[in-house]
Amino acid sequence: MPDDIKEVRFGRRDFLLWSARLAGGLVVTPILQACQRLGWIEATKTPNEPTDMPIPTYEAPETARPVVTISPHSSPTVAAGVARIAFVRTRDRSQGVRRALSLLSHNPVAGKRVLLKPNFNSADPAPASTNPDTLRVLVESLQEMGASGITVADRSGMGDTRRVMESLGVFALAEMLGFEPLVFDELTEAGDWTLVRTEGDHWQNGFPVPRRLLEADAVVQTCCLKPHRFGGQFTLSLKNSVGLVGKYMGSGGTNYMSELHNSPFQRLMIAEVNAVYDPALVLLDGVEAFIDNGPEWGTKVWGDVILAGTDRVAIDAAGLAVLRSLGYNGIAADGPIFMQEQIARAVQLGLGVDGADKIDFVTDDPESAAYAAQIRELMMQSG
């Protein structure tokens, strides 16, 4: 974001930490309502959602905490014009992760303190939550790439986070590999969190994110391939970022997850969470997938794919196309992929490319190339 007076450009993390001192105001701009009227964003609805609900205007409570307001800006990928996504066809997670990372042309973590966000939504096995083998080889790879330290952190959406992490073997793996496990729910002091919002967002009074997220040198996330029957429609990389939002601001008070899941703007709010950070790396484990229900259970099929890159929009667009190719027939199974509300709002916020023609799948064998071509064709047909 440029400073109009001093002509200084801040990174998103630096901007957040700087502006936290200024207690930024609350801004709500009904840009999405206008876009829906013009037909730029598909107004997909869950069965019980109202069909014509205006964007509400909220008044901050008298005891509102200071809120850091961030302005949307284009990601480095958008500035470059093309999203480079590693596409590996495999059923071997360990080999697939390493192959995908080797296809990327840069090292985003050398010498950096990394916050690694997995998908520990519940203690159910993959694709409900991150497979332990995927986590292990990803941590090992980041260490080999020169990360100065790694913190694996999450907040579970369905279950007690510590118990979920224990059940999935995270603490034992931390001892073996030497990374720090962190349970976001156990950050109970208000000072552990920063209340933020995106200009024109659909959160009533902002949402809390841990300061550890804002202070990390690099943020890496690994997500799964599955639908979301509770309003999100699909839960890939954009939805995975919701685990970075606190259920509460410290201990008690507003239940931000209740607000999210009861809002008719849930999918837009999911995208807005992602404006808080720029990922150094996103890895999607689609070796297995659910093609119905989700996020914690569903009909499981082989997805046979690992995707990796920095563009969350490209990852999610490709992931949704893979789901459709596997037989997913939920609410997001039809219509242009880039008009799905999560993806369209993320594009509007400058978080990724705005079309399938701007995604470059990078492969290393004929099987992966053929699979990538199939998914590209499906994406192009879907608009």
pLDDT tens digits along 105-124:
889 999 999 999 999 999 99
Asked if residue 289 lies in contact with residue 127, where contact means CB atoms within 8 angstroms, the answer is: yes
State residue 68's pLDDT score. 86
State residue 16's pLDDT score. 52
Residues 6+ apart with CB under 8 A from 247: 155, 185, 255, 256, 257
| 239, amino acid identity | K
Residue 50 or 363, more confident: 363
- The whole-number average pLDDT for the span 77-91 is 91
pLDDT tens digits along 291-318:
999 999 999 999 999 999 999 999 999 9
Q: Is residue 49 part of a domain?
A: no
Count CA within 13 A, CB hemisphere, residue 375: 31
Reply yes or no on whether the pLDDT at 168 is more than 80: yes
State residue 76's pLDDT score. 76
Q: Is residue 23 part of a domain?
A: no
Q: Which of 67-76, 86-95, 270-279 has the lowest mean pLDDT?
A: 67-76
Task: For residue 252, list its beta bridge partners.
Answer: none
Residue 45 or 227, more confident: 227
Residue 72 or 59, more confident: 72
Asked if residue 157 lies in contact with residue 239, where contact means CB atoms within 8 angstroms, the answer is: no
What burial class does residue 368 get, using C-beta atoms within 10 Å of its C-beta: 0-12 exposed, 13-18 middle, 19+ buried?
A: buried
pLDDT tens digits along 9-48:
334 555 454 444 333 333 333 444 434 433 344 333 333 3
Q: Is residue 51 part of a domain?
A: no
Q: Is residue 314 part of a domain?
A: yes
Number of structural domains, the chain? 1
Helix, strand, coil in percent for the chain, rounding step 5:
40, 20, 45
Closest CA to 165 of 184, 142, 148: 184
Residue 65: pLDDT band with limits 50, 70, 90 = low
Reply yes or no on whether the pLDDT at 235 is more than 60: yes
Reply yes or no on whether the pLDDT at 143 is more than 50: yes
Q: Where are the alpha helices (DSSP H) in 241-340?
A: 256-261, 266-273, 312-326
Q: Is residue 5 part of a domain?
A: no
- The whole-number average pLDDT for the span 241-257 is 93
Q: Is residue 17 part of a domain?
A: no
- Other beta carbons within 10 angstroms of residue 30's beta carbon come to 14
pLDDT tens digits along 191-220:
899 999 888 899 999 999 999 999 999 999
State residue 348's pLDDT score. 95
The range of the structural domain enclosing residue 183 comes to 76-192+209-382
Residue 280: pLDDT band with limits 50, 70, 90 = very high
Retrieve residue 349's tokens: 């916020």
State residue 2's pLDDT score. 38
Polymer length in residues for the chain: 383
Reply yes or no on whether the pLDDT at 71 is more than 50: yes
- The whole-number average pLDDT for the span 362-380 is 97
Residue 81: pLDDT band with limits 50, 70, 90 = confident
Q: Is residue 278 part of a domain?
A: yes
Q: Which of 53-62, 175-184, 310-319, 350-359 has the lowest mean pLDDT?
A: 53-62
DSSP E strands: which ranges in the chain? 68-70, 83-89, 113-117, 149-154, 180-183, 193-198, 207-210, 218-223, 227-228, 233-234, 281-290, 300-309, 359-362
CATH code for the domain in which residue 124 is found: 3.40.50
Reply yes or no on whether the pLDDT at 55 is more than 80: no
Q: Is residue 218 part of a domain?
A: yes
Q: What is the average pLDDT score of the chain? A: 86
- The whole-number average pLDDT for the span 155-164 is 97
- The whole-number average pLDDT for the span 233-245 is 98
Residue 147 or 70, more confident: 147
